[in-house]
Amino acid sequence: MWFVFVYGGCDAITAHRVARVRIHLDSELSIPFIPETVLIYMSLYVLFIGAPFILRQRQEFLALALTLNSVILVAGMAFLLVPAQLAFPRPIDLGAFPICSDSLIG
């Protein structure tokens, strides 16, 4: 819920801003867009399933939760301070995920 609140709030605020900062390099524009690679990116969340088995004490688990919440807050503040310019135009073809295209592009 914290992520949704911070990200959603920062996105709503930034949507009303006109100024954008270019943060990408020209060389990055030659990297092809492959929508299916999101599965590799999203596999990171599987690691959180193991957290209760690795972090046996409540204090350790609480430290992880507080750290993640702090990182989300700092990232949200950075998002507000440096509203990045999109490097690529919004994708039309989302490969194996065409059902998501209306919600992401619209």
- Tens digit of each residue's pLDDT (9 = 90 or more) over 37-70: 888 988 888 888 888 889 889 999 999 999 999 9
Q: Which of 1, 4, 7, 18 has its CA nearest to residue 74?
A: 7
Mean pLDDT for all residues in the chain: 85
Q: Which of 87, 96, 106 has its CA nearest to residue 35?
A: 96
Cα dihedral sign for 54, 41, 39, 100? positive
- Judge contact between 81 and 11, C-beta under 8 A: no
**Residue 101: what pLDDT?**
46
Q: Is the pLDDT of residue 35 over 50?
A: yes
Q: State the pLDDT confidence band at 103, using cuts at 50, 70 and 90.
A: very low
Report domain extents, the chain: 1-14+35-86
Confirm whether pTM is higher than 0.75.
Answer: no
Q: Is the pLDDT of residue 17 over 50?
A: yes
Distance (Å, rounded) from C-alpha 22 to C-alpha 9?
A: 22
